[in-house]
């Protein structure tokens, strides 16, 4: 186990994501993150682990500028996302694929329409957008369910649908917050395999999970958080 | 399907409410425009006719005319002698035989007095004074009804402008509230859209179109109501006008006026929607 990347986070190297002494304090005084520094290389697969309330979700939200740091800086592709104007946020998020524990699917639309949503504001012609949506559904094994309503899908399938929606615009970074929570071991393993598959084709993937046992088999870097502090990092397996 | 139908029914009811609200100023405008045509066709110069008694001497009429010419309230005085009046009557088609049958001239000397300015108060004052003057049989204010109609029309226009202003605010408020409810209904979708990179402009657009559409559909309903109302009223108004030998009827709005009304209502609907999305979209942030 090393903390090399934690030390190098403030160096001049061009990291894909870089946290430098980042703290996040919520109104009411709760400290979600305290002086966290680390960096992520382009094309890396990184797990962020820790118990509930350790600060994993806050860390991912800072990358997507859903939250702003109280101090320190968060750089994504060299951009200080904490200082971005609100009007610039959509363009940052288009380059990120976001997957949440609660999936955030639209249940008044079909599986296909949920995946089409991010393509609505892309420049793709309709035929190309449809092709991309079906390709994304195919990658997560849901093409045959494209006309179904998300409510008809199992928990694992809903999570796969959320992944399809996250990757349909081919983002360079995929962020997943507890994507395997509420899933059985097999479904959880299947979901993580999908993330690994996307990582193998060059997508940088950050997965936050409380389940350290589940990520051990992937032999990749893991950041360990506890009570908002970065305890250390190392490789699994 | 039930949700879709409920949304459409709510949209239709909103459009109906807007239509009824817009029908009031639109209908009022159509009626006032028609009445204006009626009053402008009439003589509304501020003047009065002073009829001398038939036993009064021509000198008395000339003296009264001279006195009036020195009155600051009077703009012009024209003396129509009883001979001139008879000659004029004789020249009127179809009346020559009647005049010949009269034997003597029954017409009085008459002074046609124009007053300075609009003359509203002055006319009545002069008529009262001249009515008491020696040798005067009757002092009559001409075209009084037309002037009163014109005055009523001005009052009507002012009232209409006030009503239109209040209803314009109402239209904005209805559009604002409708869009607010729509935003709340679609809160989840907006939140997801913001998460996956939709700009505020992209999210706002359908709501702005909805506001615009609401204004326009309200105008269509208003125009239909006004048209139906005018048709109904004209069935009585035309008959009444005929008894006065007039072909007067209440006219529907012209194409230009209808387009202007649609543009204003559409713009107000859009404005209400813009206020609403500006206010409420800010509040919806991804968590």
- Note the pLDDT tens digit of each residue in A57-94: 999 999 999 999 999 999 999 899 999 999 999 999 99
Query: What's the mean pLDDT in A190-196?
Result: 91
pLDDT at site A7: 45
Query: What's the mean pLDDT in A136-151?
Result: 94
Find how far residue A151's CA is from the centre of its chain: 23
Domain range for A96: 42-67+86-221+228-235
Query: What's the mean pLDDT in A103-112?
Result: 93
Which chain B residues touch A92 with a CB distance below 8 Å?
Answer: 197
CA distance A4 to chain B (A): 32
pLDDT at B146 over 70: no
Residue A124 lies in a domain: yes
**CB atoms B196 and A118 under 8 Å:** yes
DSSP string, B257-268: HHHHHHHHHHHH
> How much of chain B, in percent, has pLDDT values that exceed 70?
90
Number of domains in chain A: 1
B70 vs A: CB within 8 A: no
pLDDT at site B5: 64
Which chain A residues touch B189 with a CB distance below 8 Å?
Answer: 106
Residue B99 to residue B91: CA distance in whole angstroms: 10
Q: Say if residues B52 and B110 touch (Cβ distance below 8 Å).
A: yes
pLDDT at site B155: 87
Residue A111 lies in a domain: yes
Reported confidence tier of residue B46, pLDDT bands at 50, 70, 90: low
Between A and B, how many residue pairs show a Cβ–Cβ distance under 8 A?
Answer: 51
**Residues facing A205 on adjacent strands:** A45, A174
pLDDT at site B88: 83
How many helices and strands, by DSSP H and E, does chain A display?
8, 10
User: Which residue has tokens 């009262």?
Assistant: B128
Q: Which of B188, B195, B278 to mutate to test the interface with A (most CBs of A within 10 A)?
A: B195
Residue A183 to residue A191: CA distance in whole angstroms: 9
CB atoms within 10 A of CB B147: 21
Domain B47-142, second-level architecture: 2-Layer Sandwich (3.30)
Reported confidence tier of residue B182, pLDDT bands at 50, 70, 90: confident
CB atoms within 10 A of CB A229: 16
Reported confidence tier of residue A34, pLDDT bands at 50, 70, 90: very high
Query: What's the mean pLDDT in B116-142?
Result: 81
pLDDT at site A12: 45
Reported as a single tens digit per residue, the pLDDT across A4-18 is 555 444 454 578 999
| E strand or H helix that includes residue B110 | strand B110-115
Which chain B residues touch A164 with a CB distance below 8 Å?
Answer: none
Reported as a single tens digit per residue, the pLDDT across B4-15 is 566 678 778 888
Reported as a single tens digit per residue, the pLDDT across B201-223 is 999 999 999 999 989 999 999 99
pLDDT at site B168: 87
DSSP string, B174-239: HHHHHHHHHHHHTHHHHHHHHHTT--HHHHHHHHHHHHHHHHHHHHHHHHHHHHHHHHHHHHHHHH
pLDDT at site B44: 52
Nearest to A199 by CA among A182, A224, A176, A225: A176
The SS3 call for residue B17 is: helix
pLDDT at site B217: 92
| E strand or H helix that includes residue A33 | strand A31-40
Mean confidence (pLDDT) of chain A: 89
Which chain A residues touch B285 with a CB distance below 8 Å?
Answer: 66
Show the CA angle centred on residue A153, arms to residues A152 and A154, nearest 5°. Answer: 125
**CB atoms A169 and B197 under 8 Å:** yes
Reported as a single tens digit per residue, the pLDDT across B22-34 is 898 889 888 888 8
**CB atoms A104 and B202 under 8 Å:** no
Q: Which two tokens stand for residue B89?
A: 């009557």
Q: Which two tokens stand for residue B149?
A: 């109609």
Least confident of B76-90, B121-135, B138-152: B138-152
Residue A90 lies in a domain: yes
**CB atoms A87 and B199 under 8 Å:** yes
pLDDT at site A181: 86
CA dihedral B55, B56, B57, B63 (to 10 degrees): -170
| DSSP 8-state class, residue B252 | P
> How much of chain B, in percent, has pLDDT values that exceed 90?
36
Reported as a single tens digit per residue, the pLDDT across A49-65 is 999 889 999 999 999 99
**CB atoms B197 and A66 under 8 Å:** no
Nearest to A171 by CA among A125, A132, A222: A132
Q: Say if residues A48 and A60 touch (Cβ distance below 8 Å).
A: yes
Query: What's the mean pLDDT in A26-45?
Result: 91
Ordered by start, the domain boundaries in chain B are 2-42+147-280, 47-142
Reported as a single tens digit per residue, the pLDDT across B63-85 is 999 999 999 888 889 999 988 88
Reported as a single tens digit per residue, the pLDDT across B70-127 is 998 888 899 999 888 888 888 765 677 777 787 788 889 999 988 876 556 777 888 8
CATH number at residue A136: 3.40.50.300
A157-189 b/e (C-beta count within 10 Å ≥ 16 → b): bbbbbbbbbbbbbebebbbbbbbbbebeeebbe
Residue A72 lies in a domain: no
Query: What's the mean pLDDT in B244-271?
Result: 90
Q: For helices A185-200 and A155-167, give the axis angle rounded to 10 degrees.
A: 10
Furthest C-alpha separation in chain B? 105
Least confident of A220-229, B30-39, B108-117: B30-39
Residue A81 lies in a domain: no
* Strands A204-209 vs A173-177: parallel, antiparallel or unpaired: parallel
Q: Which of A121, A122, A175 to mutate to test the interface with B (most CBs of B within 10 A)?
A: A121
Query: What's the mean pLDDT in A95-124?
Result: 91
Mean confidence (pLDDT) of chain B: 85
């Amino acid at each position: 186990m090393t903390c090399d990347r934690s030390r190098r986070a403030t160096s001049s190297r061009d990291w894909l994501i870089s946290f430098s002494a980042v703290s996040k304090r919520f109104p009411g005084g709760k400290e979600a993150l305290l002086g966290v520094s680390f960096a992520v290389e382009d094309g890396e697969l990184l797990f962020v682990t820790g118990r509930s309330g350790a600060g994993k979700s806050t860390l991912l939200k800072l990358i997507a500028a859903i939250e702003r740091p109280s101090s320190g800086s968060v750089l994504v592709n060299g951009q200080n996302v904490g200082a971005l104007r609100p009007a610039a946020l959509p363009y940052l998020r288009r380059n990120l694929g976001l997957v949440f524990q609660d999936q955030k699917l639209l249940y008044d639309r079909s599986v296909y329409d949920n995946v089409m949503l991010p393509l609505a504001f892309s420049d793709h012609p309709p035929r190309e957008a449809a092709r991309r949506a079906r390709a994304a559904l195919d990658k997560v094994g849901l093409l045959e369910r494209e006309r179904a309503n998300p409510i008809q899908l199992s928990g694992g399938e809903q999570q796969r649908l959320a992944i399809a929606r996250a990757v349909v615009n081919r983002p360079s970074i995929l962020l997943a917050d507890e994507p395997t929570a509420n899933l059985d071991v097999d479904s959880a393993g299947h979901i993580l395999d999908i993330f690994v598959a996307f990582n193998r084709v060059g997508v940088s993937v950050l997965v936050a999970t409380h389940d350290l046992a589940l990520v051990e088999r992937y032999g990749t870097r893991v950041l360990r958080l506890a009570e908002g502090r970065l305890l250390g990092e190392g490789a699994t397996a | 399907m039930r949700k879709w139908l409920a949304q459409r029914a709510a949209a239709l009811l909103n459009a109906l409410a807007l239509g009824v609200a817009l029908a009031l100023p639109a209908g009022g405008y159509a009626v006032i425009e028609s009445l204006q045509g009626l009053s402008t066709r009439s003589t509304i110069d501020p003047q009065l006719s002073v009829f001398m008694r038939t036993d009064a001497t021509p000198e008395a009429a000339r003296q009264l005319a001279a006195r009036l010419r020195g009155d600051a309230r009077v703009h012009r005085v024209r003396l129509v002698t009883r001979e001139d009046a008879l000659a004029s009557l004789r020249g009127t088609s179809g009346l020559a035989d009647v005049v010949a049958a009269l034997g003597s001239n029954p017409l009085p000397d008459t002074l046609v007095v124009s007053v300075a300015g609009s003359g509203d108060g002055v006319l009545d004052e002069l008529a009262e004074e001249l009515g008491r003057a020696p040798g005067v049989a009757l002092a009559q204010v001409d075209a009084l009804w037309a002037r009163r109609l014109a005055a009523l029309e001005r009052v009507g226009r002012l009232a209409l402008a006030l009503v239109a202003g209040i209803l314009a605010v109402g239209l904005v408020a209805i559009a604002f509230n409708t869009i607010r409810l729509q935003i709340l209904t679609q809160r989840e979708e907006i939140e997801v859209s913001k998460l996956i990179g939709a700009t505020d402009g992209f999210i706002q657009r359908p709501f702005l179109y909805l506001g615009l559409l609401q204004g326009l559909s309200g105008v269509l309903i208003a125009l239909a109501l006004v048209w139906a109302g005018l048709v109904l009223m004209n069935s009585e108004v035309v008959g009444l006008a005929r008894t006065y030998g007039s072909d007067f009827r209440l006219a529907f709005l012209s194409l230009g006026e209808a387009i202007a009304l649609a543009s204003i209502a559409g713009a107000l609907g859009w404005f209400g929607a813009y206020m609403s999305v500006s206010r409420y979209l800010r509040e919806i942030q991804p968590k």
